[in-house]
Amino acid sequence: MAQEKSVKKRWWKWVAGIFATLLLIAIGSGLYLYHKWKPILSEKIKKTVVNSSQGLYILDFKDIHLNVLTGTASVDEAVLNPDTIVFSALKKVGLAPANLFQVKVKKLQINHIGLLNAYFNKKVDISSIVLDQPSINMIHYKVRKRKDSLKPELSLYQLLPGRIKSIHVNAIRIVNADFDYVKGETSKPLNRIRKLNLNVKDLLIDSLSQYDTTRFYHTKDIGFELTGYQSKDKMYLTKADTISGSATGKTIRIQGLKMIPLHPDLAFSRMYKYGKDRYDLNFSEISFSGVDFLRLNEEEVFHAKTLRLGPSKVGIFLNREMPPAPGLDKGANFPHMALRKLTLPATIDTVKLEDIDLAYTEYNPISQKRGTVYFQNLNGTIRHVTTDSLSLVKSNHAIANLNAMVMKKTKINLQIDFNLTDKNGAFSYSGAAGSLDLKALNPVAVPLGLIEIESGNMQKVDFNFTANRNGSSGKVHFYYTDLKLKLLKEGENGAAPKKKGLLSFLANNLLVEDANPAKGAAARTANVTFQRSPAASFFNLLWKGVFVGMRETAGLGMVPVKTPEEGTEAIKEKKKERKEKSRAREEKKREKKVS
């Protein structure tokens, strides 16, 4: 028994000794190969980058580390720069790429290289490549491509060194990258992104992968993710929880996008010399699907099948005490006019609005009150949104079909037909709203119009207009009963408005038609022609046409509606009047003290 134990003990010693010897030989061989081949490998890598890019790129790094046993390698402080002389030469002959890259990385890690397969079969297999916290500049140039060149552009496979049959990388991860998109002609940054994560899945470069339609630039997917994006200036904080996308999935997704004003509404508006809209935006999600990334990269044309907006909350505030800027014409900001300001051709087949709550608020300095128009649960589609010249030849109209709850009480349906090429921003719109207790409009009518609706029931209203940036014309059918109004005058120093008793009596008895149709009469139709003030927005033009038609039907057509410019002058006069009254009151107080 003791002899058997002794034999086993000697056997394990032999096994351990052999294993230790082999391990020492492997480690020694690895160290020998590492030190012998390290300078050669470094030089070989640098030459390969130069040759495979046809001299366009130069790679440099501080040090390289190679572990033959584990098949891992790392490069310290690597820098990839384009050779501007080579780029200029390629540009002259129409062979330059549209984008150049400058890359700086503290450490590049390559994991699990199949050294035996690479040596014997000339196939490079890598588990993963990781770039941690790199700085990447993508420099974009407008380049002229030679269409008559006899020399075809080489594929990635053709650029591989002759003895290598293929390169396969399971995953490439770029972690917390700083990415700058720069305009080459001016060196001006167009976009800056921080903490960008990029994931490349299953990169394969061989003789067939370039023809594989399931791949995007030789990969199964290129995905990106940006978390915790923030941008801040003196007026707004803009932030997004997550921005992500997938090349093969053809998606871009923005979650938790917020544009937050940094000052209360009146304080915000008074920081500008002239009137300016204040926005408070909160989009739970914005997503693009069917994005053609290949066309975007190669032709600089953006195309997406669908854009979804919502759920979201949108708040817009305007202080009417602030005068419009001299020469301002908000016609240039009409949706289809503003679309033309895009710097690259773009087409979105369908925009889907889903559960958007919109609140438009104005401050009336005469009443010193705010009035808000609410559009809740706004849903609908806008089809054929485009600035692309080829798409516009096929059709130059974008069609919107929308519906929402107005003032939380009644549903409105609205159709808008935008002419995308008309120089004056032509469009037409029509729609209808259902029954409504008209007193629901008082939160707007009282502070902004100094009119209180004492009673009134709307059965329905429908309208049909043609319009452009100069104004609108159309018909309004407003059906209602039991309409009674109260005309108000502003209270002093923000006090509640007071009734104009005599004028209210005269208005209700001499002007206002209490019903349409009146008993025993045909229904009245308002034919409206409305001239837009340059300071009036697209939204203002839409509702003013309908509003004027409703006023005319109710018998108030002879009472003029002030333009924003006229409103500003009235405000100036009212402020002057208030100062004079205040001065008079102070003088009376002093006189009483003296007496």
End residue of a domain, out of 225, 255, 277: 225
**What is the rounded distance in angstroms from the CA atom of residue 42 to the CA atom of residue 77?**
13
Q: In the structure encoding, which two tokens stand for residue 144, read together? A: 């002229």
Q: Is residue 114 part of a domain?
A: yes
What is the C-alpha separation between 47 and 54, in angstroms, rounded? 10
Residue spans of beta strands (DSSP E) within 30-187: 57-60, 63-67, 72-82, 99-113, 123-132, 135-140, 166-183
Report the percent of the chain where pLDDT is more than 70: 81
> How big is the CA angle at 556 (ends 553 and 558), to the nearest 5 degrees?
115
**Which two structure tokens, joined as six digits, stand for 445?**
């009518």
Name residue, tokens 């009674």.
484
Q: What is the pTM of this model?
A: 0.78
Residues 509-532, mean pLDDT to the nearest whole number: 87
Q: What is the spatial distance between Cα 11 and Cα 6, in angstroms, rounded to a whole number?
A: 9
Residue 171 inside a domain? The answer is yes
User: What confidence score (pLDDT) does residue 154 get?
Assistant: 62
* Residue 583 in domain: yes
Q: Residue 233 contacts by C-beta under 8 Å, 6 or more apart in sequence?
A: none
225, 246, 261: which is the final residue of a domain? 225
Domain-embedded: residue 219:
yes
Q: Are 110 and 129 in contact (CB under 8 A)?
A: yes
| pLDDT of 491 over the 60 cut | no
Q: Quick check: is 294 in a domain?
A: no
The residue ranking higher by pLDDT, 12 or 516, is 516
3-state secondary structure of 134: coil
Helix, strand, coil in percent for the chain, rounding step 5? 30, 45, 25
The DSSP symbol for 507 reads I
What is the DSSP code (8-state) at residue 508? I
The total of structural domains in the chain comes to 2
User: What per-residue confidence (pLDDT) applies to 21?
Assistant: 41
pLDDT in tens, 364-395: 887 788 999 899 999 999 999 999 999 999 99
Tokens 């009596």 locate to 505
Q: Which residue in the block uniquely carries the two structure tokens 């891992």?
A: 72
**Where among 193, 210, 225 does a domain terminate?**
225
Q: Say yes or no to pLDDT of 66 above 70.
A: yes
- Average pLDDT value for the chain: 83
Name which residue leads in pLDDT, 13 or 442. Answer: 442
Is 244 within the bounds of a domain?
A: no
Tell me how many degrees the CA angle 434-436-442 measures, rounded to the nearest 5.
135
Owning domain of residue 220: 35-144+161-225
Whole-angstrom distance, CA of residue 138 vs CA of residue 140? 6
User: Strands 346-364 and 312-319, how do they pair?
Assistant: parallel
Residue 367, pLDDT score: 79
Residue 173 falls within a domain, yes or no?
yes
Answer yes or no: are the C-beta atoms of 58 and 87 closer than 8 Å: no
Rounded CA gap, 291 and 245, in Å? 10
Note the pLDDT tens digit of each residue in 421-435: 999 999 999 999 999
Distance CA 242, CA 195 (A): 11
* Both structure tokens of 132: 């941690």
Contacts of 485 (CB under 8 A, 6+ apart): 451, 452, 453, 454, 504, 507, 508, 512
Strands (E), 340-426: 346-364, 369-386, 397-406, 410-419
Residue 242 within a domain? no
